[in-house]
Amino acid sequence: LAQGIKRAGRFSRLTGARGPHGLAMAADERGSEAKSAHDRILAAVAVRDRIIEQQGTILALSNQVMGEASTEVDVTELVNATYRVVNCERVSVWILEDGCLVCRAAPAGGAIGIKCTLGNGVAGHVAVTGEMLNIPDAYDRLDIFDSTFDLATNFRTRSVLAMPIRDKTGLVGVLQVINKRSLEGGGLTAFDAIDIRMLNVLLGLTAQQLRMCELLCEHADARKRSQTTLALVEAICRARELDEALDALATGIRDLLNCKRAYVFLKEQDSFVCRAACFGDYNAAQELRLNVDDPIVGVAHVSHGPLSFSATEQPEDINFLQHALQGRQASPAPSEQRDNAGDSSLASSLAASPMPPALPPGCQVQSAMCAPLCQDSQHGSIGVVLAVNRVLRMTEMTGSNADAPNSGEANSFASPKRRRSTLGLVLQKTSEFDTITEELGDFVNADAEQLNVLLRLAGQYVRTHRLYEVQCRTTRKLEALISLLADAKAALGARDVRKLASLILAKSLMMFECDRCTFFTVDSLNAEFLGYFRAEGSGELQELRIPMQGIAGVAAKENSLLNIRDAWSDRRFSNQTDLRTGYRTMTLLCAPLTTSTGKVIAVLQCINKARAAFFDDDDEKMLITVSALLSDLLQQMVQGSSFESFIEKNDAIDSNVKDMFREFNANPRRRATQAEPDREVNRVASSKESGLEQRMKCWDFDTDPLVEEPNKTLAFSRACFAYFGLVDGFNINPVVLDSTVQAIRNHYSQRTHYHNWSHAFGTLHATFLLLDSWAFAGLLRDEDILGLLIAALGHDVEHPGYTNTFLVNTRHQLAIRYNDLSVLESHHAATTCGIVTEDRGGVLQGLCKESVDRVRFVLVSTILGTDMAKHQECIDWCESSTVDLPGARKSGSKLRSEDAAKLSNAVLHAADLVHPALTWKVHRRRSLQIAAEFFQQFYEETSLGLPTLPFMGKDPGHIQGLAPIQTGFIQFVAAPLWAALNFVAGEDRFAVVKTNIEQNRQTWQQVGDGKEVDDDQPFQDIPQKS
């Protein structure tokens, strides 16, 4: 108004001084200034209206946000408010997550979830500098503006305003607005100071809401934990059974610590058995068992409070826990690697008998907290609780956590790495294109304190339930024992064996708390078991007659109680039934029922202790009590229905016959010692030996010339059997022996180049040399020696001159018969057994049943062991066996049955491949023979269009071409086998043999170089035992 008055006075002066023309000019000037003033007034009013509108938008949004009582903020309103405040075309929100920017809010059709590296683009530049950036024209700043998105979408970016988003921890993201619309004309213009000021207010409001969200989350978490703790203590107090209380404890731990999984383990002897789990697959976790010295649980068991473990701080421990929960073999912690150096039993046990998985196959363990259960100085801990994979709450995902102390110990709490911000989670959750994902972190001190309080409140209740459970279990066992004794007398009076067996099975399930039971009565006359068991599903009592073998057989023969904690890792256990039925045998308690006279009349076998525990000392004492109370009574019933009872009660039988029967029917172990004493082989003095007997003890003895003279081969074979005292010891008729050898010879083909009677006869000689060597003489029993000599003669009987692979590829009838598995070896073993065990005139006709079984076992197993597919298995046993052959030689003791069988396999396999250890003349001849056989197969395979092996196609007439193959055979097949045999023999017993093998290898190298080689090459004879 004052400016208008001044203009009016100036106008009056101008009009008076200028006249009419001046008046016109003054009027025009006045009109122009008035219009300019009007425009400025309108612009100021527009700015004022704009500010008022923006303030109104912010106030409305403030009322809406401040009135929100939930942590789920409507971020869409925040983004829409930005559109209204700055009047722009696009708004995007970028959140700092794990070292990069992630788009969490974008325009319609925008790529939510895309990532931008720090320093790249406008938003990346602001994230690095932390300062606002206002760019009027983006293409003027191509040094920081990335135009890739414009080119891909045909969008044109003009003005850009990027502002940092901060909370109490610092920078958490960037707000970016693009292309401000002009209020005049609808064009685009640059962002001004008012836009910046209003956006600052808007971001401040957002930060305030985030802080409120955090406070609400913390309040909700604290309230939830308090309610969980109180509800848990109340549930445990109401629980009637221990398992019910432990289930409540596991559920409470999971809810209290906000973790994915929670387990409760109780200590059973030297292991922890999972009694409760909260995560989904409860049944699998019930069978989970960990050792008391395993990482994490072992350390926590002896600690005074909860311990936290992190994959970043203790990777070895977490890795072990991961594998243990998934039921796989774990890589032991460094301490275990040192403690168990050289002991592979644990590894083989884990590999052979994996535990049922308590963790899904793809789930990774990132963090764990473990605490002792009911720990006190007087009673110690009764178990541990384990929490796995803590889920971070929203308020914990804003950078490093100040609640994670650094104790400097191996079990200290690990500080979590920087996580995504709360704003990022809110934006991610409210986006229609993405859903919020759980973030895992480490356990912190607050978790340890809350868990400690929980366990203190619930611990005494759990301990009381535990003691009550033990007392109830003991009472049930005693009641079952008393009931068994009372009902057993009634069954014995009725002479009802099935009723007694059914009673024993039912009461044993209660007394020993196992999953299955089998009751065997011993038929000592036939060396068999008559077993009783309950059929799966129907529960009907079933009978089964089986040989006295397996775990029950060992318990009966050795009259010893067996408590096996891992059946699959015990070599005496046969897992064929498990594989066939799908049942999993884990723990075994097997004990004989022995009368007061020391005779085993029955065996009780309990399978799989309840709750994945082990059978303990109390179970063993209970079984011994059952044996002592029932055995004498049971004997009356068992003998009354057996052939033994018939002998004892028949007065027509002479008393001497009865005495003989009692003698042979005594304890199996003592009977074997008395009836079959170790026979010292009566060696004939050198002066009395024939020339043949003298020559057969030499390694340079060429057996091939004898093959053409049947009488000499029969005499040689007979001399081998007689040399070890087998003919006299087993009452073998020499005529029958000759007939058997002749029958085996007749089954060899005369058309094969190598696998013929000449090779079999040479293998017999090599077997004889090994059995009479300083390494193995006197270690095997007579049955094993007899089986080995027969196996040497028949190990390639009816060999067609082709390999197993050829028979399988041509679908030969033998391959079909033996299912493509060790085809030739199975046929050799079956044919040889058929010859020596024929009903009339067989060489084994004078042996008792047990001896025949052992001879046949050795014969079959050793012939099957000549399969080259088992070559490495033989070497591995020789190199890893713990049998002490030098000690056995010094003490003059025989090997155990299992070790003798393994050694017999190695002896025949080495004898089958003996020719590299013989003289060069013999070795060269047999190498050419096998080459000729291979060459014939190569020709057949080529004509049939079958796959071939190039080494078989070498012409046996071109010896120089065979030299590299023979050198490799000695170096990689024969030499390692004899080196392993020398290792297991000990004391370097086959050092000379190794020298001869190396001499032959060097000779082949000379042949390969084109040098002339004489038949007489250096050779050292090996001194024999006698």
Number of C-beta neighbours around residue 758 at 10 A: 22
What pLDDT is attached to residue 565?
A: 84
What pLDDT is attached to residue 760?
A: 95
What is the 8-class DSSP label of residue 396? Answer: G
Q: pLDDT digits over 153-198, tens only?
A: 788 888 999 988 887 777 878 888 888 888 666 688 888 888 888 8
Average pLDDT over residues 281-296: 69
Rounded (5°) CA angle 888-894-899: 85
Average pLDDT over residues 224-252: 73
Residue 549 burial class via C-beta count within 10 angstroms: exposed 0-12, middle 13-18, buried 19 and up? middle
Residue 443 has pLDDT above 80, yes or no: yes
What pLDDT is attached to residue 784?
A: 95
What pLDDT is attached to residue 20?
A: 58
Per mean pLDDT, which range of 629-633, 645-649, 717-721 is the poorest?
645-649
What pLDDT is attached to residue 496?
A: 74
Record the tokens describing residue 796, joined without a space.
């390639």
Record the tokens describing residue 101, joined without a space.
């920017």
Q: What percent of the chain has pLDDT over 90?
A: 21
Record the tokens describing residue 25, joined without a space.
């000019």
Average pLDDT over residues 448-473: 76
What pLDDT is attached to residue 658?
A: 39
Residue 356 has pLDDT above 70, yes or no: no
In angstroms, the CA 557 to CA 669 distance is 6
* Confidence band, pLDDT 50/70/90 cuts, at residue 640: very low
What pLDDT is attached to residue 447?
A: 84
For the residues of 883-941, what is the DSSP string, one character each?
A: --HHHHHHHTPPPPHHHHHHHHHHHHHHHHT-GGGS-HHHHHHHHHHHHHHHHHHHHHH
Residue 654 has pLDDT above 50, yes or no: no
Please check whether residue 62 is in contact with residue 205, taking contact to mean a CB–CB distance below 8 angstroms: yes
What pLDDT is attached to residue 100?
A: 83
Q: pLDDT digits over 364-389, tens only?
A: 888 899 988 876 655 567 888 899 98
What pLDDT is attached to residue 602?
A: 87
**Four-residue CA torsion sign, 269, 275, 279, 285:** positive
Q: pLDDT digits over 299-340, tens only?
A: 887 887 888 898 888 888 888 888 888 765 444 444 444 344
Q: Which of 291-295, 545-549, 981-985 has the highest mean pLDDT?
A: 981-985
Per mean pLDDT, which range of 121-130, 215-224, 601-610 is the poorest?
215-224
Cite the DSSP H helix spans in 590-687.
617-640, 643-649, 655-664, 668-675
Nearest to 955 by CA among 974, 935, 973: 935
In the beta sheet, which residues pair with residue 672? none
What pLDDT is attached to residue 353?
A: 42
Average pLDDT over residues 955-982: 90
Sequence-ordered list of residues with C-beta below 8 angstroms from that of 157, at least 6 positions apart, any chain = 138, 139, 145, 147, 150, 178, 179
Q: Which of 228-242, 581-595, 682-696 has the highest mean pLDDT?
A: 581-595
Please check whether residue 546 is in contact with residue 577, taking contact to mean a CB–CB distance below 8 angstroms: no
* Confidence band, pLDDT 50/70/90 cuts, at residue 345: very low
Backbone phi, psi, residue 912, to 5°:
-65, -30
Nearest to 619 by CA among 511, 710, 458, 717: 511
Specify the amino acid at residue 619. Answer: D
In angstroms, the CA 689 to CA 705 distance is 21
206 versus 963: the higher-pLDDT residue is: 963
Alpha carbon separation from 21 to 10, 27, 773 (Å, rounded) = 16, 10, 147
Residue 817 has pLDDT above 60, yes or no: yes
Per mean pLDDT, which range of 672-676, 888-892, 897-901 is the poorest?
672-676
Residue 82 CB-half CA count within 13 A: 29
133 versus 7: the higher-pLDDT residue is: 133
Residue 810 has pLDDT above 60, yes or no: yes
Sequence-ordered list of residues with C-beta below 8 angstroms from that of 338, at least 6 positions apart, any chain = none
What pLDDT is attached to residue 798?
A: 95
What pLDDT is attached to residue 344?
A: 39
Task: Give the three-class secondary structure for 146.
Answer: coil
Pairing between β-strand 100-105 and β-strand 115-117 as defined by DSSP bridges: antiparallel
What pLDDT is attached to residue 612?
A: 66
Record the tokens describing residue 336, joined without a space.
């275990």
Residue 347 has pLDDT above 60, yes or no: no
Specify the amino acid at residue 403. Answer: D
Average pLDDT over residues 781-786: 94
- Residue entry with tokens 């207010």: 201
In angstroms, the CA 590 to CA 508 distance is 12
Nearest to 182 by CA among 192, 193, 172, 174: 192
Q: What percent of the chain has pLDDT over 70?
A: 71
Sequence-ordered list of residues with C-beta below 8 angstroms from that of 181, at least 6 positions apart, any chain = 87, 88, 89, 187, 188, 189
In the beta sheet, which residues pair with residue 289? 273
Residue 807 has pLDDT above 90, yes or no: yes
Per mean pLDDT, which range of 88-92, 432-436, 549-553, 929-933 is the poorest?
432-436
* Confidence band, pLDDT 50/70/90 cuts, at residue 358: low
In angstroms, the CA 96 to CA 119 distance is 12
What pLDDT is attached to residue 271?
A: 79
Please check whether residue 475 is in contact with residue 482, taking contact to mean a CB–CB distance below 8 angstroms: no
Residue 434 has pLDDT above 90, yes or no: no
Please check whether residue 671 is in contact with residue 660, taking contact to mean a CB–CB distance below 8 angstroms: no
Please check whether residue 511 is in contact with residue 626, taking contact to mean a CB–CB distance below 8 angstroms: yes
Residue 632 CB-half CA count within 13 A: 5
What pLDDT is attached to residue 445?
A: 85
When the pLDDT of each residue in the chain is averaged and rounded to a whole number, the result is 77
What pLDDT is attached to residue 844?
A: 87
What pLDDT is attached to residue 809?
A: 93
pTM for this model (two decimals): 0.40
Average pLDDT over residues 44-67: 62
Please check whether residue 124 is in contact with residue 134, taking contact to mean a CB–CB distance below 8 angstroms: no
Q: pLDDT digits over 991-1008, tens only?
A: 999 999 999 999 999 999
Residue 525 has pLDDT above 70, yes or no: no
* Confidence band, pLDDT 50/70/90 cuts, at residue 912: very high
Residue 6 has pLDDT above 50, yes or no: yes
Sequence-ordered list of residues with C-beta below 8 angstroms from that of 578, at least 6 positions apart, any chain = 568, 584, 585
Residue 260 has pLDDT above 50, yes or no: yes
Q: pLDDT digits over 70-111, tens only?
A: 434 445 666 767 777 778 888 888 888 777 888 877 765 566
Please check whether residue 779 is in contact with residue 888, taking contact to mean a CB–CB distance below 8 angstroms: yes
Sheet strand arrangement including 528-534 = 541-547, 528-534, 514-523, 600-609, 588-594, 562-564
Residue 209 has pLDDT above 90, yes or no: no
Residue 401 has pLDDT above 60, yes or no: no
What pLDDT is attached to residue 830?
A: 95
Alpha carbon separation from 768 to 771, 780, 866, 920 (Å, rounded) = 5, 13, 17, 20
Number of C-beta neighbours around residue 821 at 10 A: 13
Cite the DSSP H helix spans in 101-154.
121-129, 148-153
Measured torsion, CA atoms of residues 247, 250, 252, 258, in degrees rounded to the nearest 10? -150
In angstroms, the CA 134 to CA 619 distance is 82
Sequence-ordered list of residues with C-beta below 8 angstroms from that of 328, at least 6 positions apart, any chain = 350, 354
Residue 927 has pLDDT above 60, yes or no: yes
What pLDDT is attached to residue 416?
A: 33
In angstroms, the CA 90 to CA 138 distance is 14
Task: Give the three-class secondary structure for 656.
Answer: helix
Residue 937 has pLDDT above 70, yes or no: yes
932 versus 461: the higher-pLDDT residue is: 932
781 versus 679: the higher-pLDDT residue is: 781
Per mean pLDDT, which range of 2-6, 378-382, 484-488, 794-798 is the poorest?
2-6
Record the tokens describing residue 645, joined without a space.
């009872």
